[in-house]
Structure 1
Amino acid sequence: MTDTTKLGLIAGNGRFPFLLLEAARAHGAEVIVAAIKEETDPEIEDRARADSGIRVHWLSLGELSRLIETFQKEGVTHAVMAGQVKHKQIFSSIRPDWRLAKLLLSLRTKNTDMLLGAVAKVLGDEGIELVSSTSYLEPLLAQPGKLTARTPSEQEQRDIAYGREVGKAIAGYDIGQTVLVASQACVAIEAMEGTDATIERAGAIMQSLDDGDSTAESTLSRSLTVVKVAKPKQDMRFDVPVIGVRTIEVMRQAGATCLAVEAHRTLLFDRDKLVTIADEAGITIVALEDR
């Protein structure tokens, strides 16, 4: 946990910003929120109205200069990123200011690591240190072992092993962090669409098999295993693997029966509810040590 008493929060979508906001306030930090118009839930305004220790500034995704100016005026020297910013936004609705446009043009590739790493450097050059998004949320990191009532079957364990090999390979190229496997065959790999959309796509693929040749069942199990890995050199300041209730619900709809994540490097949101829903659906969840 950081000792910072004034924290800048760059808030993306989902519940992550709210969890971090609550944790930071519980530790006495004053929080200055940079809410992204294209991503952040407007509910964050309600939190600010209910707590005088929170101030919200709304910015568009491309306004890097304004972000820096806002934090500097507020006296912020430490900041954290929390919540997803859809990678595809970079290629669609984003209108970069001069500073971000210059940064984008300087990048060899525009993957997550390169882009956010460059943003972190620009912030650092302006006296704003980007700190780990887990600084206040270490209790939410998955611990090694089985999280649910059911243990992975032998087939699921084989699929986990294969999925981790594939996952580490694609994560090394910063393509995605999630792989869907059935009978040691790769069904879907995450790209820009995100984890939940990848699971939905894999479910659709499996459904298409059911709609086709019925003899396919003898060569490919209908049960999907989801493997979510951290990058080989995971920067815990951003893009930390996250699993929430929504992911488990999507797994159930897609016919996925097993989820494997990396211990110590995956955040689990609403853990009790997540595990309850998984147990009800017969889904097994396991957190594995990095190899």
Structure 2
Amino acid sequence: MIGLFLGTTDFPKLIINNLTKKNIKYFIIDLTNNNRFIKNNNSYHISIGQFGKILNLIKEKKCNKVLFAGKIDKPRLSTLKLDFKGLFYMSRIIAAFKLGDAAILRELIKILAEHKIKVIRSNFFNPELTLKRSDLTILKPNNNDLIQIKKGIMLLNKLNAHNHVQGLIVSNNNVVAKESAKGTKKMLLSFKKLKNSEAILIKFPKKKQDLRVDLPTIGIDTLKDCSKADIKGIVLKSKQNIFLDRKKCINFANKNKIFITIK
């Protein structure tokens, strides 16, 4: 029996499909705001602050391993539902809230570990969704692109471990856009390309990010947004990005002359 802490994006659906095919028993702790998995009989919609309810459910299911998948939005502290266990951990919750959504997940993992519950990598059942170093498209980065990519990766690595930046856009040796808490899509849709520039999207995990629970994800929607923003290329991290709709993405990139490279 495996426990699934699930948020949004299509990644959780792929995990559920794989578990079903392999006849592996699971239950869902639905952390979405809109009760996304309500139609699944194995799903329980629980607030991230209801630690007692979460721990009791895991114990009831005789489960000692869980995974996190999908985008789990940071709830408002003022509206966060807490049970008795949640109140017990209140000081730790508040401290984590001040540091951001990644810190909240890390604190939840610590609490689970205190109760001897192990968190496994989100791609444990779907390793095919992470890729090794390679160029995936017909178009390859040229020498100037490689210089831009190297500088962009260096700048991304310097960013604070607790901010929301999992992606940025580089052009002409400068960072011209950075991802905020609103995500990559918002950054791409608001991006205004400079004249005669060739922009590249770099999407890596945050520095010191817990790779068990929060791998950056791209899919066909990301490719379409890149095309609208006139992005020349996309750079992902080897074995550290969830890549959905791979064939669709590569076909779309080839048709629209966008390179995709894994570093």
TM-score past 0.5 threshold: yes
CA–CA distance in structure 2, aligned partners of residues 95 and 224 of structure 1: 43
The equivalent of 1:248 in structure 2 is: 223
The equivalent of 1:66 in structure 2 is: 53
CA–CA distance in structure 1, aligned partners of residues 35 and 133 of structure 2: 32
Relative distance call for 1:23 and 1:177 in structure 2 (3 A) is same
Cα-Cα RMSD: 2.3
Match of 1:159 among 130, 133, 148: 148
Relative distance call for 1:37 and 1:240 in structure 2 (3 A) is closer
- Is contact 1:278–1:284 with CA below 8 Å preserved after alignment? yes
Q: Give 4+ residue runs of structure 1 displaced > 6 Å after superposition.
A: none
CA–CA distance in structure 2, aligned partners of residues 232 and 59 of structure 1: 29
The equivalent of 2:262 in structure 1 is: 287
- Is contact 1:39–1:85 with CA below 8 Å preserved after alignment? no
Amino acid at match of 2:29: A
1:61, CA displacement in angstroms? 4.0
Relative distance call for 1:264 and 1:171 in structure 2 (3 A) is farther
Q: Secondary structure, in 3 states, of the residue corresponding to 2:225? A: helix
1:8, CA displacement in angstroms? 0.4
CA–CA distance in structure 1, aligned partners of residues 133 and 27 of structure 2: 34
Amino acid at match of 2:136: L
Amino acid at match of 2:214: D
Match of 1:128 among 114, 117, 123: 117
Give the share of equivalent positions with the same residue, in percent.
20
> Which segment is superposed worse, 55-64 or 99-108?
99-108
Match of 2:234 among 259, 274, 277: 259
Match of 1:225 among 180, 197, 200: 200
Alignment of 1:109-148 (within 5 A): 109-148=98-137
Match of 2:249 among 261, 270, 274: 274
Deviations 1:48-73 (A, max 9, x none): 36xxxxx1112234333322222222
Amino acid at match of 1:242: T
> Which segment is superposed worse, 94-103 or 120-129?
94-103
The number of equivalent residue pairs is 260
- Is contact 1:37–1:61 with CA below 8 Å preserved after alignment? no
- Is contact 1:168–1:229 with CA below 8 Å preserved after alignment? no
The equivalent of 1:79 in structure 2 is: 66
- Is contact 1:11–1:40 with CA below 8 Å preserved after alignment? no
1:105 and 2:94 matched? yes
Q: Secondary structure, in 3 states, of the residue corresponding to 2:141? A: coil
- Is contact 1:259–1:285 with CA below 8 Å preserved after alignment? yes
> Which segment is superposed worse, 265-274 or 171-180?
171-180
1:115, CA displacement in angstroms? 1.7
CA–CA distance in structure 2, aligned partners of residues 238 and 28 of structure 1: 23
Q: For structure 1, which runs of at least 5 residues remain unmatched after alignment?
A: 1-5, 50-54, 210-216
Deviations 1:154-212 (A, max 9, x none): 332222112111111126444311011111121111121112212222x2x33xx6xxx
> Which segment is superposed worse, 15-24 or 97-106?
97-106
CA–CA distance in structure 2, aligned partners of residues 79 and 86 of structure 1: 19
Q: For structure 2, which runs of at least 5 residues remain unmatched after alignment?
A: none
CA–CA distance in structure 1, aligned partners of residues 29 and 81 of structure 2: 17
Relative distance call for 1:39 and 1:174 in structure 2 (3 A) is farther
- Is contact 1:144–1:286 with CA below 8 Å preserved after alignment? yes
**Greater percentage in helix:** 1
